[in-house]
Amino acid sequence: MTQPVAAPFSFESPQRPQVLIVSDSLGETAELVTRAALSQFTESLGDNSVEVRRFPMVKNPSEIEGIVRDARQRPTLIVYTLIVPEAMQAMTQFAEHYGIVAVDIMGPMLSGFAQVLGKAPKLQPGLIHQLDARYFKRIESVEFAVKYDDARDPRGFLLADVVLVGLSRCSKTPVAMYLAHRNYKVANLPIVPELSLPKEIFEAPKWKIVGLGVDAMQLSRIRTERMRSMGAGAGVTRGDNYADLARILTEIEYAESVFKRLCCPVIDVTNRAVEETAVRVLDYVQSGRRMLGLPDP
């Protein structure tokens, strides 16, 4: 039988509920949907109350039967993305036979598109993962974000699609990586009062630069937790005042002066999710591109 992908959770009791993700491709789509749905129950159940396992590249009906049959040992929900009709039919039959709840993620979507578009789907597993130009661009964008993180090479400001500017621990890197997976090349500049700004940041087009601001109290908490997670006491690697509120207020005042010099919009990231910040960054950058008649990257 196909071996499942290792789950990020571990459990002591064999009777804890489980979700089995079965796919004739990698199963990433089904897992994203599963975790999105499961997040609606974590407050009442707890983060580690349900085990999630993924069974990728499953195409043989006998494999499907084995997975479904073994699932009877625990409370189980099967979530599947099976494209081949024989596999879909096998899952439906075996789930009904063994009394297992099974949810088809892809089938209703394919049926809906077929009705609206008036065309039959290819029914070819893994098409979304083919090595096309968009895939390579995403890889290139991720590598770009890593290379030009924290102004390691100021030339990146001129090459980037987006330039993020902000204080340390203001979500610059997480936002950059999120946008990289959307195929945008992102460079970021940490603002430190003691360090002069690289000349390249003033040479970069204004429309691609976005500042990230944050509340002083929250930044102090974030930095304190960061130092604690790294096992560092005050004065280790960052200096005694890294999480000090007075120091942070000074940094914020300096950052605001930098934002004004760069004439860039500023997004307050306080209590804002990375995804939400990324969307707002794109709104600013794309508006600037449209005003200049530039196409999307």
pLDDT tens digit string along 157-197? 999 999 999 999 999 999 999 999 999 999 999 999 999 99
Total residues found in the chain within this entry: 297
Do the first three CATH levels of 18-129 and 133-291 match, i.e. the same topology?
yes
**Under CATH, to which class is 18-129 assigned?**
alpha beta
Q: For the whole prediction, is pTM greater than 0.75?
A: no
* Residue ranges covered by each domain of the chain: 18-129, 133-291
Give the pLDDT score at 136. 80
pLDDT tens digit string along 186-199? 999 999 999 999 99
Answer whether 233's CB lies under 8 Å from 185's CB. no
Give the pLDDT score at 165. 98
Using the predicted structure, report yes or no on whether residue 272 has a pLDDT greater than 80: yes
- Assigned CATH topology for domain 133-291: Rossmann fold (3.40.50)
Question: In the 3-class helix/strand/coil scheme, how is 42-103 assigned residue by residue?
Answer: HHHHCCCCCEEEEECCCCCHHHHHHHHHHHHHCCEEEEEECCCHHHHHHHHHHHHHHCCEEE
Closest CA to 213 of 148, 262, 177, 179: 262
